[in-house]
């Protein structure tokens, strides 16, 4: 793990160093674009460190969810409303099937975090003109959340590993597109803390896209 983190930190730091040196030596004109590239690398480092800290906190024995009776439908609607603007900007259609209240003992902020993470991923991996469908289903003792996208899908060689920390599928493409590979590890940790399961399917009936499922027990 330490070695993986060192590797993840080294690449953006090396880029930043060579860019700064080129600016210092006058090989590069200090244009706004070049500063922007450096800032993006710095943002990526900050995001990675924040997510590593977050996951570390969640794995500590003191970590506790703040659970209370919540309407999962309402949490889902809040997440959909927040995501709508990002979807609109990229021209990806976001559809939501649900609406009726589903009461469950959950940590509302953490569930919101999980949903935003999944909706952001679905958007990230779906090209403009695509569709993402979110669904909340009452299964009696459990609630099932389904997020299906029409995006690039996940190869069968990546599928078993995507919930591991720092794992990024199709590495060369994803490094430049900004993913830290921590999002799904955090989602898994939070869903497990709720006593639930999260898994993904791709290909077959999902017609090229991916489908993520979260099943949460309604009672603690
Ligand atoms: P990242 O920051 O790289 O998105 P995640 O932990 O969120 O990290 O996801 C891990 C990997 O799972 C991604 O690099 C990507 O290969 C794959 N992945 C996650 N969500 C999707 C999706 N909706 N469609 C296709 N691939 C996905």
DSSP for 162-194, please give it: TTSTT--SSHHHHHHHT--S-HHHHHHHHHHHT
What tens digit of pLDDT does each residue of 33-44 get?
Answer: 999 989 999 998
**Best mutation site among 160, 169, 182 for ligand 1 pocket (most ligand atoms within 8 Å of CB):** 169
- As a whole-number percent, the residues of the chain with pLDDT over 90 amount to 77
Residue 54, helix vs strand vs coil: helix
| 69 neighbors 105 (Cβ within 8 angstroms) | yes
CATH classification code of 65-217: 3.30.565.10
**Number of other CB atoms surrounding residue 66 within 10 Å:** 9
Residue 119, C-beta contacts closer than 8 angstroms, at least 6 positions apart: 79, 80, 83, 94, 132, 134, 147
Residue 2 confidence class, pLDDT cut points 50, 70, 90: confident
CATH of region 1-63:
1.10.287.130
CA distance 195 to 112: 16
Average pLDDT over every residue of 59-82: 95
Do the two domains 1-63 and 65-217 of this chain adopt the same fold? no
Residue whose Cα lies nearest atom 26 of ligand 1: it is: 154
For residue 7, the model assigns a pLDDT of 86
| Residues in contact with ligand 1 (CB, 6 Å cut-off) | 121-122, 125, 149, 151-152, 154, 158, 162, 167-170, 174, 179-185, 210
pLDDT of residue 171: 62
**Average pLDDT of the segment spanning 193-210:** 90
pLDDT (tens digit, 9 = 90+) per residue, 93-126?
Answer: 999 988 789 999 999 999 999 999 999 999 999 9
pTM of the model: 0.90
**Residue 194 in tokens:** 């709720």
Phi and psi (nearest 5°) for 133? -115, 125
Task: pLDDT band for 212, please (50, 70, 90 cuts).
Answer: very high
Q: What is the pLDDT of residues 119-176, one digit of tens each?
A: 999 999 999 999 999 999 999 999 999 999 999 999 999 999 999 998 988 765 555 5
CA-nearest residue for atom 14, ligand 1, is 168
Q: What is the predicted pLDDT for the residue at 99?
A: 75
Residue 53: CB atoms within 10 A of its CB come to 10
For residue 167, the ligand 1 atom closest to its alpha carbon is: 10
What are the tokens at 217? 């027990």
More confident residue, 46 or 178: 46
The residue ranges of every structural domain in the chain are 1-63, 65-217
- What stretches of the chain show up as alpha helix (H) in DSSP? 2-24, 32-59, 72-90, 108-124, 171-177, 183-193
Out of 17-31, 50-64, 172-186, which region has the weakest mean confidence (pLDDT)?
172-186
């Amino acid at each position: 793990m330490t070695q993986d983190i060192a590797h993840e930190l080294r690449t953006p730091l090396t880029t930043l160093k060579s860019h700064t040196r080129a600016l210092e030596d006058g090989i590069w004109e200090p244009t706004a674009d070049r500063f922007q590239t450096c800032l993006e690398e710095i943002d990526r480092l900050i995001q990675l460190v924040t997510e590593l800290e977050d996951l570390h906190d969640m794995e500590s024995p003191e970590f506790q969810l703040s659970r209370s009776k919540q309407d999962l439908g309402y949490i889902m609607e809040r997440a959909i409303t927040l995501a709508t603007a990002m979807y609109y900007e990229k021209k990806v259609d976001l559809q939501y099937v649900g609406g009726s209240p589903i009461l469950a003992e959950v940590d509302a902020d953490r569930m919101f975090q999980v949903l935003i993470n999944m909706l952001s991923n679905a958007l990230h991996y779906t090209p403009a003109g695509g569709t993402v469908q979110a669904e909340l289903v009452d299964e009696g003792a459990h609630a099932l959340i389904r997020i299906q996208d029409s995006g690039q899908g996940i190869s069968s060689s990546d599928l078993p590993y995507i919930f591991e920390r720092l794992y990024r599928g199709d590495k060369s493409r994803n490094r430049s597109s900004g993913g830290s590979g921590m999002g799904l590890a955090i989602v898994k940790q939070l869903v497990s803390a709720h006593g639930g399961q999260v898994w993904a399917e791709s290909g077959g009936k999902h017609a090229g896209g991916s489908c993520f499922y979260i099943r949460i027990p309604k009672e603690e």
